[in-house]
Protein backbone atom coordinates (compact mmCIF):
# COMPACT_ATOMS: atom_id res chain seq x y z
CA UNK A 1 0.00 0.00 0.00
CA UNK A 2 0.99 3.62 -0.44
CA UNK A 3 2.35 5.58 2.54
CA UNK A 4 -0.79 7.73 2.66
CA UNK A 5 -2.92 4.61 3.07
CA UNK A 6 -0.62 3.01 5.65
CA UNK A 7 -0.65 6.18 7.75
CA UNK A 8 -4.44 6.06 7.95
CA UNK A 9 -5.01 2.32 8.29
CA UNK A 10 -2.12 0.77 10.23
CA UNK A 11 -2.24 0.20 13.97
CA UNK A 12 -6.02 0.25 14.39
CA UNK A 13 -8.17 -2.18 16.40
CA UNK A 14 -9.58 -4.83 14.07
CA UNK A 15 -12.07 -6.93 16.05
CA UNK A 16 -15.81 -6.79 15.56
CA UNK A 17 -17.26 -4.24 17.96
CA UNK A 18 -13.89 -2.61 18.62
CA UNK A 19 -13.58 1.18 18.39
CA UNK A 20 -11.99 2.60 15.26
CA UNK A 21 -9.18 4.10 17.34
CA UNK A 22 -7.35 2.82 20.39
CA UNK A 23 -8.76 4.57 23.46
CA UNK A 24 -6.54 6.25 26.03
CA UNK A 25 -5.82 3.58 28.65
CA UNK A 26 -4.80 5.32 31.88
CA UNK A 27 -3.55 2.35 33.84
CA UNK A 28 -0.27 1.34 35.43
CA UNK A 29 -1.45 -2.11 36.47
CA UNK A 30 -3.87 -4.82 35.32
CA UNK A 31 -5.98 -7.47 37.03
CA UNK A 32 -5.00 -11.12 36.79
CA UNK A 33 -2.17 -13.54 37.48
CA UNK A 34 -0.03 -12.73 34.44
CA UNK A 35 1.70 -9.86 36.20
CA UNK A 36 0.95 -7.38 33.46
CA UNK A 37 2.33 -3.93 34.18
CA UNK A 38 2.35 -0.95 31.85
CA UNK A 39 6.12 -0.42 31.84
CA UNK A 40 6.68 -4.02 30.77
CA UNK A 41 3.61 -4.70 28.63
CA UNK A 42 2.64 -1.27 27.30
CA UNK A 43 -0.83 -0.02 26.43
CA UNK A 44 -3.00 -0.48 23.33
CA UNK A 45 -2.11 3.07 22.30
CA UNK A 46 1.64 2.41 22.40
CA UNK A 47 1.19 -0.76 20.43
CA UNK A 48 -0.98 0.89 17.78
CA UNK A 49 1.52 3.71 17.32
CA UNK A 50 4.40 1.26 17.06
CA UNK A 51 2.54 -0.84 14.49
CA UNK A 52 1.76 2.20 12.34
CA UNK A 53 5.24 3.76 12.44
CA UNK A 54 6.84 0.37 11.92
CA UNK A 55 4.67 -0.21 8.86
CA UNK A 56 5.63 3.19 7.42
CA UNK A 57 9.35 2.54 7.96
CA UNK A 58 9.38 -1.14 6.97
CA UNK A 59 10.41 -2.47 10.38
CA UNK A 60 9.32 -2.85 14.00
CA UNK A 61 9.05 0.26 16.17
CA UNK A 62 9.55 0.89 19.87
CA UNK A 63 8.07 4.05 21.39
CA UNK A 64 9.95 6.09 23.99
CA UNK A 65 9.27 9.08 26.20
CA UNK A 66 11.05 11.55 23.88
CA UNK A 67 13.23 11.77 20.81
CA UNK A 68 16.31 11.99 23.03
CA UNK A 69 15.19 8.84 24.84
CA UNK A 70 15.00 7.06 21.48
CA UNK A 71 18.46 8.33 20.54
CA UNK A 72 19.86 7.24 23.90
CA UNK A 73 18.25 3.83 23.48
CA UNK A 74 19.88 3.36 20.08
CA UNK A 75 23.30 4.04 21.59
CA UNK A 76 22.57 1.91 24.64
CA UNK A 77 21.33 -0.98 22.49
CA UNK A 78 24.31 -0.96 20.10
CA UNK A 79 26.91 0.00 22.76
CA UNK A 80 29.56 1.41 20.39
CA UNK A 81 33.16 1.77 21.46
CA UNK A 82 33.95 3.88 18.40
CA UNK A 83 31.22 6.12 16.98
CA UNK A 84 31.24 8.15 13.75
CA UNK A 85 29.15 11.27 14.37
CA UNK A 86 28.17 14.21 12.13
CA UNK A 87 29.81 17.42 13.33
CA UNK A 88 26.63 19.26 12.32
CA UNK A 89 23.73 17.45 13.97
CA UNK A 90 21.16 17.83 16.73
CA UNK A 91 22.81 19.47 19.72
CA UNK A 92 21.09 17.12 22.18
CA UNK A 93 22.67 14.06 20.56
CA UNK A 94 26.06 15.75 20.45
CA UNK A 95 25.73 16.61 24.15
CA UNK A 96 24.87 12.99 24.96
CA UNK A 97 27.81 11.65 23.00
CA UNK A 98 30.17 14.25 24.50
CA UNK A 99 29.11 13.12 27.97
CA UNK A 100 29.81 9.48 27.10
CA UNK A 101 33.14 10.46 25.58
CA UNK A 102 34.10 12.38 28.72
CA UNK A 103 33.35 9.28 30.77
CA UNK A 104 35.68 7.27 28.53
CA UNK A 105 32.84 5.05 27.28
CA UNK A 106 33.11 5.89 23.59
CA UNK A 107 35.61 7.29 21.11
CA UNK A 108 34.07 9.77 18.67
CA UNK A 109 35.11 10.49 15.09
CA UNK A 110 33.40 13.64 13.84
CA UNK A 111 32.73 14.01 10.13
CA UNK A 112 30.89 16.22 7.66
CA UNK A 113 28.01 13.88 6.88
CA UNK A 114 27.53 15.47 3.44
CA UNK A 115 31.13 14.52 2.53
CA UNK A 116 30.50 10.88 1.69
CA UNK A 117 34.16 10.10 1.08
CA UNK A 118 35.11 11.50 4.49
CA UNK A 119 32.38 9.48 6.21
CA UNK A 120 33.44 6.26 4.49
CA UNK A 121 37.08 6.92 5.37
CA UNK A 122 36.13 7.23 9.05
CA UNK A 123 34.18 3.96 9.19
CA UNK A 124 36.92 1.26 9.41
CA UNK A 125 37.37 0.37 13.07
CA UNK A 126 34.08 1.99 14.10
CA UNK A 127 31.16 0.09 15.61
CA UNK A 128 28.36 2.54 14.79
CA UNK A 129 27.91 5.30 12.22
CA UNK A 130 25.41 7.97 13.25
CA UNK A 131 23.70 9.69 10.32
CA UNK A 132 21.38 12.66 10.57
CA UNK A 133 19.81 13.68 7.29
CA UNK A 134 18.87 16.40 6.66
CA UNK A 135 21.03 17.77 9.47
CA UNK A 136 19.83 20.16 12.15
CA UNK A 137 20.02 23.11 11.48
CA UNK A 138 22.23 23.25 8.38
CA UNK A 139 20.10 20.83 6.30
CA UNK A 140 23.03 18.86 4.87
CA UNK A 141 22.01 15.62 3.15
CA UNK A 142 23.82 12.31 3.58
CA UNK A 143 24.21 9.56 0.99
CA UNK A 144 22.57 6.91 3.17
CA UNK A 145 22.87 3.94 0.75
CA UNK A 146 26.60 4.54 0.19
CA UNK A 147 27.29 4.98 3.91
CA UNK A 148 25.27 1.88 4.82
CA UNK A 149 27.09 -0.19 2.20
CA UNK A 150 30.49 0.93 3.48
CA UNK A 151 29.48 0.22 7.07
CA UNK A 152 28.12 -3.23 6.20
CA UNK A 153 31.38 -4.11 4.50
CA UNK A 154 33.27 -3.78 7.80
CA UNK A 155 30.50 -4.96 10.14
CA UNK A 156 29.51 -1.55 11.50
CA UNK A 157 25.92 -0.58 12.35
CA UNK A 158 24.19 2.56 11.06
CA UNK A 159 21.70 4.70 12.98
CA UNK A 160 19.75 7.27 10.94
CA UNK A 161 17.99 10.16 12.63
CA UNK A 162 15.24 10.76 10.10
CA UNK A 163 13.23 13.27 12.11
CA UNK A 164 13.44 16.02 9.48
CA UNK A 165 12.79 13.67 6.55
CA UNK A 166 9.90 11.78 8.20
CA UNK A 167 8.80 8.32 6.98
CA UNK A 168 7.11 10.08 4.06
CA UNK A 169 10.34 11.38 2.49
CA UNK A 170 12.87 8.66 3.35
CA UNK A 171 13.14 4.92 3.98
CA UNK A 172 16.53 4.40 5.66
CA UNK A 173 15.92 0.75 6.60
CA UNK A 174 15.48 -0.09 2.92
CA UNK A 175 18.82 1.62 2.30
CA UNK A 176 20.56 -0.63 4.82
CA UNK A 177 20.27 1.28 8.11
CA UNK A 178 20.23 -0.73 11.33
CA UNK A 179 18.03 1.64 13.34
CA UNK A 180 15.95 4.64 12.33
CA UNK A 181 14.98 7.14 15.02
CA UNK A 182 12.41 9.91 15.13
CA UNK A 183 11.56 12.63 17.54
CA UNK A 184 7.84 11.99 17.21
CA UNK A 185 7.40 15.26 19.06
CA UNK A 186 7.99 16.91 15.70
CA UNK A 187 6.32 15.99 12.40
CA UNK A 188 4.81 12.66 13.44
CA UNK A 189 2.80 14.25 16.25
CA UNK A 190 2.48 17.38 14.18
CA UNK A 191 0.61 19.63 16.63
CA UNK A 192 3.24 20.78 19.15
CA UNK A 193 1.40 19.15 22.03
CA UNK A 194 3.41 16.08 23.04
CA UNK A 195 6.83 14.56 23.67
CA UNK A 196 7.54 11.11 22.22
CA UNK A 197 10.31 9.24 20.45
CA UNK A 198 10.49 6.20 18.21
CA UNK A 199 13.22 3.78 17.20
CA UNK A 200 12.64 1.31 14.37
CA UNK A 201 14.62 -1.76 13.32
CA UNK A 202 14.15 -4.43 10.67
CA UNK A 203 16.42 -6.95 12.42
CA UNK A 204 14.60 -8.88 15.16
CA UNK A 205 17.63 -9.05 17.45
CA UNK A 206 18.14 -5.28 17.27
CA UNK A 207 14.43 -4.72 17.89
CA UNK A 208 14.61 -6.90 21.00
CA UNK A 209 17.61 -4.89 22.23
CA UNK A 210 15.65 -1.65 21.79
CA UNK A 211 12.66 -3.13 23.59
CA UNK A 212 14.86 -4.37 26.42
CA UNK A 213 16.52 -0.95 26.65
CA UNK A 214 13.16 0.73 27.19
CA UNK A 215 12.28 -1.85 29.82
CA UNK A 216 15.44 -1.46 31.90
CA UNK A 217 15.83 2.30 31.42
CA UNK A 218 12.17 3.04 32.07
CA UNK A 219 11.94 5.52 29.19
CA UNK A 220 8.30 4.76 28.43
CA UNK A 221 5.85 7.05 26.62
CA UNK A 222 2.70 8.32 28.28
CA UNK A 223 -0.68 6.95 27.25
CA UNK A 224 -2.00 10.38 26.26
CA UNK A 225 1.15 11.15 24.28
CA UNK A 226 0.92 7.87 22.37
CA UNK A 227 -2.74 8.56 21.59
CA UNK A 228 -1.97 12.05 20.31
CA UNK A 229 1.03 10.89 18.28
CA UNK A 230 -1.00 8.18 16.55
CA UNK A 231 -3.78 10.64 15.82
CA UNK A 232 -1.24 13.06 14.39
CA UNK A 233 0.35 10.34 12.28
CA UNK A 234 -2.94 9.80 10.45
CA UNK A 235 -2.55 13.16 8.68
CA UNK A 236 1.24 13.13 8.26
CA UNK A 237 1.20 12.55 4.47
CA UNK A 238 -1.30 15.37 3.91
CA UNK A 239 0.54 17.75 6.22
CA UNK A 240 3.88 17.00 4.58
CA UNK A 241 2.44 17.51 1.10
CA UNK A 242 1.21 20.98 2.01
CA UNK A 243 4.24 21.95 4.10
CA UNK A 244 6.68 20.86 1.39
CA UNK A 245 4.82 22.85 -1.23
CA UNK A 246 4.93 25.90 1.04
CA UNK A 247 8.63 25.40 1.75
CA UNK A 248 9.51 25.29 -1.93
CA UNK A 249 7.71 28.57 -2.62
CA UNK A 250 9.21 30.31 0.40
CA UNK A 251 12.72 29.22 -0.54
CA UNK A 252 12.32 30.57 -4.05
CA UNK A 253 11.18 33.93 -2.67
CA UNK A 254 13.83 34.04 0.04
CA UNK A 255 16.57 33.48 -2.52
CA UNK A 256 15.40 36.58 -4.38
CA UNK A 257 15.12 38.80 -1.29
CA UNK A 258 17.97 41.32 -0.85
CA UNK A 259 18.15 40.74 2.92
CA UNK A 260 18.94 37.03 2.51
CA UNK A 261 22.53 35.96 1.96
CA UNK A 262 21.67 32.27 1.56
CA UNK A 263 18.62 30.00 1.71
CA UNK A 264 19.12 26.29 2.35
CA UNK A 265 16.61 23.63 1.39
CA UNK A 266 17.41 20.00 0.52
CA UNK A 267 14.58 19.70 -2.01
CA UNK A 268 12.27 17.71 0.27
CA UNK A 269 10.71 18.01 3.68
CA UNK A 270 9.43 21.09 5.49
CA UNK A 271 12.61 22.50 7.04
CA UNK A 272 14.28 25.62 5.65
CA UNK A 273 17.32 27.54 6.90
CA UNK A 274 18.26 31.01 5.72
CA UNK A 275 21.02 33.45 6.60
CA UNK A 276 19.97 37.07 7.17
CA UNK A 277 22.43 39.73 6.08
CA UNK A 278 23.52 41.79 9.06
CA UNK A 279 24.20 38.81 11.29
CA UNK A 280 22.73 38.03 14.69
CA UNK A 281 21.09 41.39 15.35
CA UNK A 282 19.26 41.43 12.02
CA UNK A 283 18.15 37.81 12.37
CA UNK A 284 16.92 38.36 15.94
CA UNK A 285 15.01 41.43 14.82
CA UNK A 286 13.29 39.43 12.08
CA UNK A 287 12.31 36.70 14.56
CA UNK A 288 10.83 39.34 16.87
CA UNK A 289 8.94 41.07 14.05
CA UNK A 290 6.91 38.11 12.75
CA UNK A 291 3.23 38.04 13.70
CA UNK A 292 1.81 34.90 12.05
CA UNK A 293 4.96 32.81 12.16
CA UNK A 294 5.73 31.65 15.70
CA UNK A 295 9.15 32.40 17.24
CA UNK A 296 9.75 29.03 18.92
CA UNK A 297 12.52 26.47 19.34
CA UNK A 298 10.76 23.23 18.43
CA UNK A 299 9.43 22.29 15.02
CA UNK A 300 7.23 20.01 12.94
CA UNK A 301 3.85 21.45 13.89
CA UNK A 302 1.02 22.60 11.64
CA UNK A 303 2.12 26.15 12.45
CA UNK A 304 5.21 27.72 10.91
CA UNK A 305 7.92 28.53 13.44
CA UNK A 306 11.41 30.02 13.27
CA UNK A 307 14.38 30.98 15.42
CA UNK A 308 18.00 32.03 15.17
CA UNK A 309 20.14 29.02 16.00
CA UNK A 310 23.60 30.34 16.84
CA UNK A 311 22.30 31.72 20.13
CA UNK A 312 22.62 28.15 21.47
CA UNK A 313 26.10 27.09 22.55
CA UNK A 314 25.67 23.75 20.79
CA UNK A 315 25.08 25.52 17.48
CA UNK A 316 27.99 27.95 17.72
CA UNK A 317 29.36 26.52 14.45
CA UNK A 318 26.56 27.93 12.26
CA UNK A 319 26.51 31.46 10.77
CA UNK A 320 25.38 34.14 13.26
CA UNK A 321 22.44 35.14 11.08
CA UNK A 322 21.16 31.63 10.36
CA UNK A 323 17.45 31.20 11.01
CA UNK A 324 15.89 27.74 11.03
CA UNK A 325 12.28 27.69 9.90
CA UNK A 326 9.83 24.83 10.22
CA UNK A 327 7.22 25.40 7.52
CA UNK A 328 3.61 24.67 8.39
CA UNK A 329 0.37 24.30 6.48
CA UNK A 330 -0.91 27.90 6.45
CA UNK A 331 -1.53 29.61 3.10
CA UNK A 332 1.86 30.34 1.61
CA UNK A 333 1.00 33.93 0.64
CA UNK A 334 0.12 34.75 4.23
CA UNK A 335 3.39 33.24 5.39
CA UNK A 336 5.38 35.21 2.85
CA UNK A 337 3.61 38.47 3.67
CA UNK A 338 4.53 38.01 7.34
CA UNK A 339 8.11 37.00 6.59
CA UNK A 340 8.66 39.79 4.08
CA UNK A 341 7.49 42.51 6.48
CA UNK A 342 9.76 41.10 9.20
CA UNK A 343 12.93 41.03 7.10
CA UNK A 344 15.13 44.10 6.73
CA UNK A 345 14.91 45.95 3.44
CA UNK A 346 18.30 44.56 2.43
Tens digit of each residue's pLDDT (9 = 90 or more) over 194-243: 999 999 999 999 999 999 999 999 999 999 999 999 999 999 999 999 99
- Whether 229 and 245 map to the same domain: the answer is no
- Whether 139 and 46 map to the same domain: the answer is yes
Domain extent for 245? 236-342
Interval 172-179 mean pLDDT: 98
Q: Summarize pLDDT for 56-78 with one digit per residue, the tens.
A: 999 999 999 999 999 999 999 99
- Whether 317 and 252 map to the same domain: the answer is yes
pLDDT of residue 18: 93
- Whether 64 and 189 map to the same domain: the answer is yes
Alpha carbon of 53 to those of 3, 143, 225, 258, 280: distances in Å? 10, 23, 15, 42, 39
Given 233, 268, 297, which residue is the final one in a domain?
233
- Whether 10 and 155 map to the same domain: the answer is yes
pTM to 2 decimal places = 0.96
- Whether 206 and 240 map to the same domain: the answer is no
Q: Summarize pLDDT for 243-301 with one digit per residue, the tens.
A: 999 999 999 999 999 999 999 999 999 999 999 999 999 999 999 999 999 999 999 99
- Whether 216 and 278 map to the same domain: the answer is no
pLDDT of residue 313: 81
- Whether 119 and 267 map to the same domain: the answer is no
- Whether 99 and 227 map to the same domain: the answer is yes
CATH number at residue 259: 3.90.1150.10
Confidence bin at 41 (pLDDT 50/70/90):
confident
CATH number at residue 87: 3.40.640.10
Amino acid sequence: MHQATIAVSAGRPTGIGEPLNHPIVLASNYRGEAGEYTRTHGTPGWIGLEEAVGALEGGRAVAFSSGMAAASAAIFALAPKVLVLPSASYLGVRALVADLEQQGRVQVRQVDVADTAAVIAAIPGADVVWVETPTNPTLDVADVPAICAAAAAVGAKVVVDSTFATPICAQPLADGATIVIHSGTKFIGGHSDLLIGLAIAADDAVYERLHQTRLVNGSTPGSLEAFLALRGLRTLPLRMERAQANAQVLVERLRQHPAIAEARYPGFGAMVSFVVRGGADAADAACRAVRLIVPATSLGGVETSMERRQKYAGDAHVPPGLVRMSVGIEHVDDLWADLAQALPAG
